[in-house]
A and B are shown apart, each in its own frame.
Chain A
Amino acid sequence: MKILVPVKRVVDYNVKVRVAADGSGVETQGLKMSLNPFDEIAVEEAIRLREKGVVTEVVVVTIGVQAAQDILRTSMAMGADRAILVKTDDTLEPRAVANALKAVVEREQPGLVCMGKQAIDDDMNATGQILAAKLGWPQGTFASAVTIADGRIEVAREIDGGTEVVSLALPAVVTADLRLNEPRYASLPNIMKARKKPLETLEAADLGVDLASRLTIVSVAEPTERKEGIKLGSAAELVEKLKTEAKVI
């Protein structure tokens, strides 16, 4: 079985972004970019499934600018077998990304799509679900454990009050939560090897799918700053302030 792992290049999670002065978006120029942390977990899970022998090939795909090939190389250095870059200079919404991914799925015919539960830039948490709907496949979102057997995948899902387990017929879409695994670091020899692995480039416009945006960004603003707080000397003083000044207890 082949597994397809969609990945996204995002501003590194340690970087605090700034809103552009004209309110048109956030400044991403010159910032450190990385593989979205949830996608890193998805890549790791795909590699572990191959190591267990349930998956034969791990294919990573991203939709984005030419420079996004760096995260495909990172994924291949972790152990993915080959990569596809669907090139576009436009910023695509989850619906459009799902349309592009659906075209890639139809071409590659994977038995499973494994991806991150959300990207840490737009915080949408939607692409996996939309893709599953468009393919007519079942979905296992916010996965913290997966087991594949007899043409089905059992997915433990993180829900509000605890954990839920569902059993899905393959092919299916699974989205990775933080707890699914601890991604490995790519070793130097593997980084060198990844340079020679196949990376195919497709033009998004050539896929023949609808990539239009349905949302218009009216403006982007900084959240309101909190006013500076004060430091107190003792717990007793704190309780006093909470009672008389803040009036919360």
Chain B
Amino acid sequence: MTALVLLEVENGEVRQASRSALTAAARFGDVDAIVFGEGASAAAALPGVKRVLSVPALATDLAEPAADLLASIAKDYSHIVASASASGKNILPRLAGLLDVQPVPDVVEIKDAETFVRPIYAGNALATVRSADSIKVLTIRSSSFDPAPKDGGSAAIETLEAPTSEKSVFVKVELSASDRPELESARVVISGGKGMKDAANFKLLEPIADKLNAAIGASRSAVDSGFAPNEMQVGQTGKIVAPELYIAVGLSGAIQHLAGMKDSRVIVAINTDPEAPIFRVADYGIVGDLFEVLPALEKAL
């Protein structure tokens, strides 16, 4: 069996989430990789990739041409895998639609070539499902699979032409600038909730994040209140993270938020309310005012 993995390249490097997808894809046999835009050489360096299909003309990940192209080569593969990133979740279900198969999104465990575990109901239950489709289209939750190493491989690169259509046209992209580690791959994450009270107070998290080389996240209510941008949101409707250490500051721990972080190895909660649900999942908790605890924590680090 051969699997095809869709790799996302950013700043000349294969994203960590995609390297986790490669680890998952390797469970099914040989792996070919496909890369849209530049970056085929970074993909070719990943150990475990047999062949890289490079589509330089598809610089943006528009779902329509990407899914059309994937559908045209799908019959050569038993499994088509991507990370459950915004891009993977955009393209792969469309591909599944073209192939008339039922995709299996957000896989957290592979039992065998056709049996997969995925969370449902915001992570409150884990469903084991068996797929009867001849081509399995999967997105995987990157926090559940170790990322493959960055180099050591030397796969051959083949270039593919991309289909184009006026039906869907890329206009622009606005990325938020940050030199912190990516939320989904950070070893430590510190998140603020509504208890931060305003956007300016999010600055209080920065010195601690600097000391721990942590990414900064936010709860949905903090995002909705305008304290933090959307892409910082951790939860069922935002990013799913599972760092070594997750520090939840001034957030209650709603079901929606827990869905995005409860698989972290160690969870710390700082909250004034001792009854806040976040304390039920926290390994260590401090009941106290974050405006006193945060400066003390910075000092203690």
Contact = CB atoms under 8 A, between A and B. Distances in A.
Interface of A: 11, 13-14, 16-17, 19, 26, 38, 93-95, 98, 118, 120-134, 137-139, 141-142, 144, 154, 157-169, 177-179, 213-223, 226-227, 229-236, 238-239, 241-242, 246, 248-249
8 contacts: A123-B122, A125-B106, A142-B90, A157-B86, A232-B284, A235-B286, A242-B284, A249-B245
Interface stretch (B34-42, B48-56, B197-205, B229-237): B229-237
Nearest to A210: B100
A141 B85 contact: no
Interface of B: 60, 62-64, 67, 85-87, 89-90, 92-98, 100-106, 115, 118-133, 165-176, 184, 188, 212, 220, 224, 229-231, 236-237, 239, 244-245, 255-256, 262, 265-268, 274, 279, 281-287, 293, 296-297, 299-301
B187 to A, nearest CB: 8
Given A168-B169, A222-B125, A238-B286, 14 more contacts: A19-B125, A93-B102, A95-B96, A120-B121, A122-B120, A129-B92, A129-B96, A160-B85, A162-B175, A178-B237, A223-B125, A231-B286, A238-B284, A241-B284
Contacts of A94: 93, 102-103
A216 B293 CA distance: 49
Contact of B173 (A165, A219, A233): A165
A98 B97 contact: yes
Contact of B86 (A38, A142, A217): A142
A139 B188 CA distance: 35
B174 A163 contact: yes
A125 B212 CA distance: 34
The interface centre, meaning the residue of A16, A164, A217 with most chain B CB atoms within 10 A of its CB, is: A164
